[in-house]
Structure 1
Amino acid sequence: MLAGFSAFAQKSYNFKKAESEARQLLHTAPDSALVIINTTLAQKKPIHDTILGNTYSLYGIYYAMGGKPDSSIYYFKKGLNHVNNYTENKKRILSNLAIAYRQKGKYKESINHLNEVIAISKQQKDSSRLALVYGELASNYNYMQQYDKSVYYLLKAIALLNNKNDLDKIAGLKQKLANAYLAMENFDFAIDLYQEALSIFKEIKSDKNYYLTLVNLGETYIRIKDYNAALKYLSEGVSGLEKFGDKEILGIAYNKLGNIQRKKGDIKKALSYYQKAYNYLTTTNSVRVLRIAGEYIKLLNDTQNYQKALQIIKETDPYRKSIESNVDDRMVYVMAIAETYNKTNQLKEAVKQYKTAITLVDSSSFNETERKTKELQAKFQTKLQREKNIALKANNDALKNKVEAEERLILFYIIGSIALFLIVLAFLRTYWLRSNLQKEQLKNTEAEKSLIEQQHQHEQELNNNQRKAIEEKKRELTATTMQMANLQDSINQIINKCSDNKITLQEIKKELEVLNKKKDYWKQFKTRFNNLHPEFEKKLSSEFPELTKNDIEFCSLLKLNLSYKEIASMLQISYESTITKKYRIKKKIGIKDDKEFEKLLLNL
């Protein structure tokens, strides 16, 4: 009886129904979906390749939602082996595989698989699938900070679905577009798009997407400093996402909660959330590990908990080689750990990290990317607004067209008559004026020529005298500067002799008396520099009040085009300290590029 019942159960198992139920449950009750998946694979009777491929794909989705991209990639590839001859199934699994590679930060592999799907979809003229793939491509470029490409593919995707009633797909694309606008700091537009996506996700009961959108909406409110609204949306989002077990998404969400508590001044809660976020992301090898670790370390530095910060650095540093984070995320991490090393007197390591930060700044093309994406953003907003006004404009145009046509005809006759009269009048007046002007010009030409020659000669003499005076002042100023440096070197020589016991007290006294008789070169330097550039210190202090007196004196030396080595010798600091001081001054005044900084000093 038991054997017969088992055979009947195997025979009556409905594979298609099981697959449909598992697919629905993945986004609401993933563990229940896993039971159905395992039951399907446990069936002893022959299973069609499409069922096997789809079931392994569901396995991959389950692990992807749990923040395990390696396992999801394994099962997606296993599913592909069964559906190579079934293009619909192949397109779906290739898309999922591309998403899994994106989770690992392998954007090149992800884009390659998405391009495979695009080629198949274009061949089959499958616009719905094509729109979805464009959306996934946009997500890749968003992670890669290429926002212009992200917006481009999202607009293409939305255009393909405009005439269809695919609410879930349109909502997903709007969510992605909102992510791009959030990254470009167009917060109002991002909020509108998130709210539209939320209402659709709620209507179609797409729970995970709904909670994920809440998290992104919370981030938007953080950026506009509405922390109460941000806390409300994030708390609801995190609570809903807990049941899906996606550790990467949870890590990012807890990090955002930490940001809110830090802004509100609750440091204890902020540290707790940062630790949770860090724990989640390190277990998934997320590409966001470096940024979130950097934010955590920065807060630890602010609270002077340097030992904990050093511990996090030790645990995180291996990820610098194993994951492919973007330049901004690496910059956040490098600047945080450089500060930790600086505060713990590990100056050599701190300098090394500051140099790395400078390299990252030089390699970033953020400004150009930002310019392009804002242009695309403006185009899209204009297009969207125009679409909203089309209906109203069409009605108004229909009422006005006839009246405007008659008015234009009458106006044309009037303007034509007036224009003809004015042209004739202007021609006659011009002819009369031209005759008089030619006579006057003949009289004045010679006198003006003589006057211009005299003025030119006078200006040339004046410029030559001014140039000589400026050059003389510059030579005096440079000489004073070098005398200052020599005075510092003399003092250092006396100190070195004392350290080596190669000089007597009487000789020290004699050499110090000689130095004492020398002029106060620094005072001379300041006097001559102010004579040469009287407005420099005043303008620099006025435009950048955060600069200290020492910063302004350092900028004075830079304006003279002295080398780092000469400045270091003069100020008795190391070559590296000179570079670091210049970098800090640039950071204070908000300038990254050396050429822009030099241009600023030159114009003051």
Structure 2
Amino acid sequence: MKRIIITSLIGITTLITTALTLPLLSQESYIQTSNSQTEKLDSSETEKLEQLIKTGLQQTEQYQSQEAIETLQEALAIAKKIKNRENEVLANFFLGLNYDRIGKPQEALNFYNEALMIFREVSERSVVATTLNSIGGVYNSIGQPQKALEYYQQALPIWQEVGDRSGEARTLNNIGVVYDKIGKPQKALEYYQQALPIVREVNNRSGEARTLNNIGEVYRKIGKPQKALEYYQQALPILREVEDRSGVATILNNIGAVYTDIGQPQKALEYYQQALPILREVEDRSGVATILNNIGAVYTDIGQPQKAL
């Protein structure tokens, strides 16, 4: 289960379009320029831009990243030509997202930074924070945790300033993930524990489960297995409630690992064997391999190596 909490695509799109429309149109210089240009614009070009953006976002939502990139690149060129800032920034942001998805971080950073410049230009704080958080995610994925922290730490006070509790919790979790990755579990725990009451406050059940899992992972790493179990056991029914099958399998595996750590192999097997059919059901081949390896290790440890084969 991924530990980084990510805003839904629809949520990001709504946030950006709502935030940009009024700030951009409220600027007198923009209105004057827009009015003079509108008369000259070929209406078919404007309609084409709107359709390209719509198609590009649909492709993004369906994880058709290569197709989305082609569509949004075409949209970006038109948006720049007719000076349509709202669609220019949308194209930049979602090009960044799609390039990140296909494993091209430098291209992702280039487009995110273009979007960030426009968001800052119109002083729209919420989408500045969203973009900073996305840039931090790219740096984290390419093994530059300090750069990731730099961007997350810029996003955090903005979320707090604008009162976006969901954004605040998301970034707190992301900071915790980075600290966990760089071997500072106590710092990670500090941020996860700040995020937990917030995700509960906003009734983000999936986010609550992920945060509980993150806390459990830290406790396991620092040698507190009972505390780890406590948090994993809290996460498990929530993941079942929200029907996150992959998440359920992850927690079952984590619980099994704790029981292995504390010398209770039969309990470990019980949880591993619950996780295995779920991972097969969701076609997680890597997860299946991990669980089979864990089950084999337990059978070897208890002197039944023939069952490990």
TM-score under structure 1 length normalisation: 0.37
Q: CA-to-partner distance for each residue in 1:202-251, whole Å, 9 max, x for gaps?
A: 22333211111111111221222222211111100111112333333322
Counterpart position of 1:61: none
1:188 to 106, 125, 141: 106
Tell me the equivalent position of 1:299.
Answer: 218
> Is 1:140 equivalent to 2:92 in the alignment?
no
Listed as ranges, the matches of 1:234-313 within 5 Å are 234-283=152-201, 284-313=203-232
- Flag the 1:133–1:315 CA change in 2: closer, same or farther, 3 A: farther
Tell me the CA shift for residue 258 of structure 1: 0.9
* Partners of 2:252 and 2:182 in 1: CA distance: 25
Question: Structure 2 counterpart of 1:140, which letter?
Answer: E
Structure 2 distance, partners of 1:290, 1:140, is 24
Structure 2 distance, partners of 1:182, 1:352, is 38
Tell me, what secondary structure is at the counterpart of 1:163? Answer: helix
Change (3 A) 1:160 1:312: same
Q: Which residue of 2 aligns with 1:217?
A: 135
Offset from partner CA, 1:560-603 (integer Å, 9 cap, x none)? xxxxxxxx8x99845xx755x45xxxxxxxxxxxxxxxxxxxxx
Cα distance in structure 2, aligned partners of 1:191 and 1:135: 19
CA distance in 1, matches of 2:109, 2:245: 25
SS state of the match for residue 256, structure 2? helix
Shift, 1:326, TM fit: 6.9
Which deviations, in whole Å up to 9, do the C-alpha atoms of 1:359-383 show, x marking residues without a partner? 344345578xxxxxxxxxxxxxxxx
Shift of 1:263: 3.0
Contact (CA 8 Å) 1:271, 1:296: kept in 2 or not? Answer: yes
Instruction: Identify which of structures 1 and 2 has the higher relative contact order when contacts are C-alpha pairs closer than 8 Å and 6+ apart.
Output: 2
Establish whether residue 320 from structure 1 lines up as the match of residue 235 from structure 2. no
Question: 2: distance between equivalents of 1:280 and 1:225?
Answer: 28
Which structure 1 segments of 5+ residues have no match?
Answer: 1-22, 29-124, 142-146, 368-550, 555-567, 583-604
Other-structure match for 1:94: none
C-alpha distance in 2, partners of 1:26/1:278? 33
Instruction: Give, in whole Å, the separation in 2 of the partners of 1:266 and 1:226.
Output: 15
Contact kept in structure 1, 2:216 and 2:228, CA below 8 Å = yes
The structural deviation recorded for 1:333 is: 3.2
Query: Cα 1:234–1:322, aligned 2, differ >3 Å: closer, same or farther?
Result: same
Letter in 1 for 2:110: D
Distance 1:286 1:162, change over 3 A: farther
Post-superposition shift, 1:158? Answer: 4.3
2:206 aligns to what SS in structure 1?
Answer: coil
Answer whether contact 1:258 1:273 (CA < 8 A) is retained. Answer: yes
Please state how far the C-alpha of 1:331 moved relative to its aligned partner: 4.8
Task: State the shift of 1:131 in Å.
Answer: 4.1
Q: Which residue of 156, 162, 167 corresponds with 2:71?
A: 156
How many angstroms apart in 2 are the aligned matches of 1:152 and 1:194?
Answer: 19
Structure 2 Cα separation of the partners of residues 169 and 188 of structure 1: 22
Partner letter of residue 295 of structure 1?
N
**Counterpart of 1:301 in structure 2: which amino acid?**
R
Please give the per-residue CA displacement for 1:337-394, whole angstroms capped at 9, x wherever unaligned. Answer: 3223333555444323323443344345578xxxxxxxxxxxxxxxxxxxxxxxxxxx
Q: Which residue of 2 aligns with 1:341?
A: 259
Say if 1:341 and 1:347, in contact at 8 Å, map to a contact too.
Answer: yes
Are the equivalent residues in 1 in contact too, given 2:20–2:86 (CA < 8 A)?
A: no
Secondary structure of the equivalent of 1:275?
Answer: helix
Give the 3 Å change call, closer, same or farther, for CA 573–260 of structure 1 in structure 2: same
Indicate the residue corresponding to 1:60 in structure 2: none
Q: Is the 8 A contact 1:214 1:237 kept in 2?
A: yes
Larger Rg: 1
* Structure 2 letter corresponding to 1:166: N
Are the equivalent residues in 2 in contact too, given 1:168–1:200 (CA < 8 A)?
no
- For residues 118-168 of structure 1, the C-alpha deviation after alignment (integer angstroms, 9 at most, x for no partner) is xxxxxxx95455444445434533xxxxx3x24424533443453133223
Residues 295 and 332 in structure 1, CA contact (< 8 A), matched pair in contact too: no
Distance, in Å, in 1 between the alignment partners of 2:169 and 2:22 is 19
Check conservation: 2:89, 2:118, Cα contact below 8 A: yes
For residues 329-408 of structure 1, what are the structure 2 equivalents within 5 Å? 329-344=247-262, 347-364=265-282
Counterparts of residues 442-521 of structure 1 (less than 5 Å): none
Taking a change above 3 Å as real, the CA distance of residues 356 and 157 of structure 1, as seen in their structure-2 partners, is farther
In structure 2, do the counterparts of structure 1 residues 578 and 361 end up closer, same or farther at CA, with 3 Å as the change threshold? farther
Change in CA separation of 1:200 and 1:311 when aligned onto 2, cut-off 3 Å: same
**What amino acid is aligned across from residue 229 of structure 2 in structure 1?**
L
Distance 2:213 2:125 in 1: 31
Alpha-carbon distance change, 229 to 344 in structure 1, aligned in 2, over 3 angstroms: same
Q: CA deviation at 1:174?
A: 2.7
Contact (CA 8 Å) 2:72, 2:95: kept in 1 or not?
no
**Offset of residue 254 of structure 1:** 1.0
Counterpart residue number, 1:419: none
Partners of 1:188 and 1:247 in 2: CA distance: 30
* Counterpart contact for 2:105–2:138, Cα < 8 Å: yes
Match of 1:137, as an amino acid?
Q
Distance 1:571 1:227, change over 3 A: closer
Structure 1's 348 and 168: CA in aligned 2 closer, same or farther, altered over 3 A? farther
Q: Which residue number in structure 2 is paired with residue 497 of structure 1?
A: none
**RMSD of aligned Cα (Å):** 3.6
Corresponding position of 1:169:
87
How many residues are matched? 256
Distance change (3 Å), C-alpha of 1:160 and 1:139: closer
Closer/same/farther in 2, CA of residues 139 and 347 from structure 1, 3 Å limit: farther
Distance 1:285 1:195, change over 3 A: same
**Sequence identity (%):** 20
Measured in 2, the distance between the counterparts of 1:161 and 1:366 equals 36
In structure 2, stretches of 5+ residues that fail to align are 1-17, 24-45, 286-292
